[in-house]
């Protein structure tokens, strides 16, 4: 009798799980990222992109867990005041550049259906820096450098990041979704800044 009850309970669990939304998908979009720091340097936002995939694990009719793996281009526009000139002509001029970070992100997001096709997303994420390049936009000390690109050894920087992300999405069809997120870094990287990213993109269920 006990074995029969156990078998029925197991069969019910498997059947219920099969009815939930367990699926793979791909996603891509654009982002607007910026460093937030407490130094004298000035950080501004820049446009980037992301591309990756996800696995949706249905937990109930309205709630699911979604681990993701994404390759992301983000960073910041950077401005620093530097001395320029000689003697009485010495002045401070702004040096401007774009910092481009290529990172791997692993968000683990809870997805909850609010009403109709509208859903809420919330969860933590881990980031790992793969490559950092700097493109010089304004160099008062040597204008010939403007437009040049420099790649830095990653040993100079903190490569791991941890943060929270949240947002809203809308199922355009049974397979296609639109979502917008805000991600906030909780770790102070390189002892003076945190990451801040707004993203907008599409997801497609395979």
Q: Residue 125 belongs to a domain with what CATH number? A: 2.40.160.20
pLDDT for position 160: 96
Express each pLDDT in 41-95 by its tens digit: 889 999 999 999 999 999 999 999 999 999 999 999 988 876 665 555 556 677 8
Q: Which residues pair with 146 in a beta bridge?
A: none
16 occurs within a structural domain: no
- In a domain, residue 114? The reply is yes
Three-class DSSP labels, the chain: CHHHHHHHHHHHHHHHHHHCCCEEEEEEEEEEEEEEECCCCEEECEEEEEEEEEEEEECCCCEEEEEEEEEEEEEEEEEEEEEECCHHHCEEEEEEEEEEEEEEEEEEEEEEEEECCEEEEEEEEEEEEEEEEEEEEECCCCHHHCCCEEECCHHHCCCEEEEEEEEEEEECCCCEEEEEEEEEECCCECCCEEEEEEEEEEEEEC
Residue 8 resides in a domain: no
37 domain residue, yes or no: yes
Average pLDDT of the segment spanning 183-203: 94
Average pLDDT over residues 148-154: 81
Can you give the residue range of the structural domain that contains 105? 21-205
Q: Which two tokens stand for residue 162?
A: 């941890």
Write down the pTM of the prediction: 0.81
Number of domains in the chain: 1
- 4 in a structural domain: no
In a domain, 11, yes or no: no
């Amino acid at each position: 009798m006990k074995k029969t009850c156990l078998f029925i309970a197991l069969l019910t669990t498997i059947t219920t799980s099969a009815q939930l939304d367990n699926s793979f998908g791909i996603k891509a979009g654009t982002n607007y990222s910026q460093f937030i720091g407490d130094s004298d340097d000035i950080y501004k936002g820049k446009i980037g992109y992301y591309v990756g995939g996800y696995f949706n694990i249905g937990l109930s009719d309205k709630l699911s867990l979604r681990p993701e793996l994404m390759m992301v281009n983000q960073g910041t526009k950077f401005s620093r005041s530097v001395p320029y000139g000689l003697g009485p002509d010495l002045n401070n001029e702004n040096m401007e550049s774009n910092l481009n970070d290529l990172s791997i992100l692993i968000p683990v997001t809870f997805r909850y259906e609010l009403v109709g096709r509208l859903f809420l997303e919330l969860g933590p994420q881990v980031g790992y820096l793969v490559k950092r390049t700097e493109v010089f936009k304004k160099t008062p000390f040597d204008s010939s450098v403007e437009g040049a690109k420099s790649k830095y050894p990653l040993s100079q920087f903190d490569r791991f990041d941890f943060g929270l992300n949240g947002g809203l999405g809308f199922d355009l069809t049974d397979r296609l979704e639109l979502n917008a997120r805000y991600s906030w870094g909780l770790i102070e990287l390189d002892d003076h800044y945190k990451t801040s990213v707004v993203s907008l993109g599409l997801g497609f269920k395979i």
